[in-house]
């Protein structure tokens, strides 16, 4: 059955990746064991960690100043780990949406937070580039893609303090100068792998200046010393991320992936803009290429539209429960054909109801 998967996360993964992961659940590397049965201290798994680390650095063009960790607790745990490890007195945060706000809420438990810009008054439909970052702060935190409302930062500030970025919903989707960031984190369940693993990419030199008595799991240093196996990691999710990274490399790396993503997003935004029945509320400079949000201009047509797309095996188009409307998550692995199919449905809906 052909299904068009617009889920926001966990979400679509490349078919080849799912197939290979499924084979490895039965028989990993002809070992007679399932990937679910191997030891996290085996040579096979150490090899997976090494290859995954290598691929991330290669794809993002990062040198050995950076270290890569594979942790648990989602991006949510990073909201606390970051200030626990890196905040001495005060940090600057951008409040650009639900997840950014959650990061702020947690950071406030560890020190002072200065919100340098908040999009709240404009319902998070806009991200300013016009804010000042005082250089006496411990770090600056931002969220590159706001999954719920559907905005994306296109420009990152220049500053002398470390930039920390939650890239959970757009990592590996575009080219950027990744060296401008001192710490990047992303939970796996969108562009990377199955849920249950978080990638943390950090410049080694930002650590260890402040708190000493950090509990082991919350302490980046312990994870670095233990090569991400301080405790039993999510072996399957890390393995699957290795497969996805190989897929990204075989697709031609981030520049080609980015072109495909831009094409899919443009097609969909163009349709929303010209279709009489739909609207997108995001400032044009901040439209996300990963999560495309849209609303019916006339809410009373909701039932009819829902009936139409659901009948066609389109999955996950409902907007987030806080926002309503619709959200098409068009991550790396979503084929162009699925976007074109959704557009056909939107056109047909317009023909019938406008
Ligand atoms: N940040 C962003 C941008 C997200 O989209 C999400 C989850 N959708 C999170 C953080 C939280 O991730 P997790 O549920 O893995 O903790």
The pLDDT profile of the chain, 354 residues, written as one tens digit per residue, is: 789 999 999 999 999 999 999 999 999 999 999 999 999 999 999 999 999 999 999 999 999 999 999 999 999 999 999 999 999 999 999 999 999 999 999 999 999 999 999 999 999 999 999 999 999 999 999 999 999 999 999 999 999 999 999 999 999 999 999 999 999 999 999 999 999 999 999 999 998 666 678 999 999 999 999 999 999 999 999 999 999 999 999 999 999 999 999 999 999 999 999 999 999 999 999 999 999 999 999 999 999 999 999 999 999 999 998 899 999 999 999 999 999 999 999 999 999 999
Q: How far is the CA of 90 from the centre of ligand 1 (A)?
A: 23
Do residue 20 and residue 59 come from a single domain? yes
So what's the pLDDT on residue 322? 87
Name the catalytic one among 95, 138, 170, 190: 190
**Cα 70 to Cα 199: distance, rounded to the nearest angstrom:** 5
**Cα 239 to Cα 48: distance, rounded to the nearest angstrom:** 6
Is 166 catalytic? The answer is yes
Do residue 56 and residue 36 come from a single domain? yes
Q: How far is the CA of 228 from the centre of ligand 1 (A)?
A: 20
In a domain, 5, yes or no: no
Do residue 216 and residue 292 come from a single domain? no
Q: What is the number of the ligand 1 atom nearest to the C-alpha of 9? A: 8
Name the catalytic one among 95, 138, 166, 170: 166
Pocket probe for ligand 1: among 7, 8, 74, the residue whose CB has the most ligand atoms within 8 Å is 74
Q: Backbone phi, then psi, for 22, in 5-degree steps? A: -65, -40
**Cα 68 to Cα 307: distance, rounded to the nearest angstrom:** 45
* Number of residues in the chain: 354
With a 6 Å cutoff on the Cβ, whether 291 touches ligand 1 is no
Is 247 catalytic? The answer is no
How far, CA to CA in Å, does 294 sit from each of 100, 168, 271? 21, 21, 11
In a domain, 1, yes or no: no
Do residue 54 and residue 88 come from a single domain? yes
Domain stops at, among 225, 250, 275: 250
Q: What is the CATH number of the domain that holds 54?
A: 3.40.640.10
- Is 41 within any annotated ligand binding site? yes
Do residue 274 and residue 242 come from a single domain? no
- Is 103 within any annotated ligand binding site? no
With a 6 Å cutoff on the Cβ, whether 99 touches ligand 1 is yes
Q: What is the CATH number of the domain that holds 308?
A: 3.90.1150.10
pTM of the model: 0.98
In a domain, 311, yes or no: yes
Tokens of residue 177, six digits: 């100068």
Do residue 79 and residue 178 come from a single domain? yes
| Element of type H or E holding 176 | none
Domain stops at, among 250, 284, 311: 250
Residue numbers of the domain that contains 287: 253-353
Do residue 104 and residue 122 come from a single domain? yes
Is 310 catalytic? The answer is no
In a domain, 2, yes or no: no
With a 6 Å cutoff on the Cβ, whether 169 touches ligand 1 is yes
In a domain, 195, yes or no: yes
Q: What is the complex's ipTM, to 2 decimals? A: 0.99
**Strand pairing report for 278-279 and 198-203:** unpaired
With a 6 Å cutoff on the Cβ, whether 143 touches ligand 1 is yes
In a domain, 205, yes or no: yes
Contact 100, 113 (CB under 8 A): no
Do residue 131 and residue 157 come from a single domain? yes
Do residue 207 and residue 85 come from a single domain? yes
Helices of type H across 95-203 = 98-107
Q: How far is the CA of 133 from the centre of ligand 1 (A)?
A: 25
In a domain, 116, yes or no: yes
So what's the pLDDT on residue 210? 67
Q: How many domains does the chain have?
A: 2
Do residue 287 and residue 214 come from a single domain? no
Do residue 98 and residue 229 come from a single domain? yes
Tokens of residue 203, six digits: 């410049």
Do residue 197 and residue 262 come from a single domain? no
In a domain, 6, yes or no: no
């Amino acid at each position: 059955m052909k299904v068009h998967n617009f889920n926001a996360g966990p979400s679509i993964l490349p078919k080849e990746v799912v197939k290979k992961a499924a084979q490895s659940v039965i028989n990993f590397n002809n070992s007679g064991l399932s990937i679910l049965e191997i030891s996290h201290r085996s040579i096979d798994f150490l090899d997976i960690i090494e290859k995954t680390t290598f691929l991330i650095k290669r794809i993002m063009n990062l040198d050995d100043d950076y270290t890569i960790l594979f942790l648990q607790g989602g991006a949510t745990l990073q909201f606390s780990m970051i200030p626990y490890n890196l905040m001495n007195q005060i940090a600057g945060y951008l409040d650009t949406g639900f997840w950014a706000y959650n990061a702020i809420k947690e950071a406030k438990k560890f020190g002072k937070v200065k919100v340098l810009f908040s999009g709240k008054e404009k319902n998070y439909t806009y991200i300013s580039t016009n804010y000042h970052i005082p250089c006496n702060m411990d770090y600056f935190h931002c969220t590159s893609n706001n999954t719920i409302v559907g905005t994306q930062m296109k420009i990152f500030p220049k500053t002398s303090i470390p930039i920390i970025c939650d890239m959970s919903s757009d990592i590996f989707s575009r080219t950027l100068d990744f060296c401008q960031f001192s710490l990047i984190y992303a939970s796996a369940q969108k562009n990377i792998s199955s849920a249950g693993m978080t990638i943390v990419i950090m410049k080694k030199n930002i650590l260890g200046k402040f708190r000493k008595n950090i509990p082991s799991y919350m302490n980046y240093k312990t994870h670095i010393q233990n090569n991400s196996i301080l405790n039993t990691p999510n072996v399957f999710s890390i393995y699957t991320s290795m497969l996805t990274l190989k897929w990204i490399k075989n697709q031609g790396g981030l520049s080609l992936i980015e072109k495909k993503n831009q094409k899919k997003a443009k097609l969909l935004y163009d349709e929303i803009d010209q279709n009489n029945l739909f609207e997108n509320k995001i400032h044009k400079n901040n439209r996300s290429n990963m999560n495309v949000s849209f609303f019916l201009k006339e809410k009373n047509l909701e039932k009819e539209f829902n009936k139409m797309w659901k009948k066609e095996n389109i999955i996950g188009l409902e907007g987030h429960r806080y926002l309503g409307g619709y959200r098409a998550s068009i991550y790396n692995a979503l084929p162009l054909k699925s976007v074109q199919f959704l557009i056909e449905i939107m056109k047909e809906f317009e023909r019938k109801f406008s």
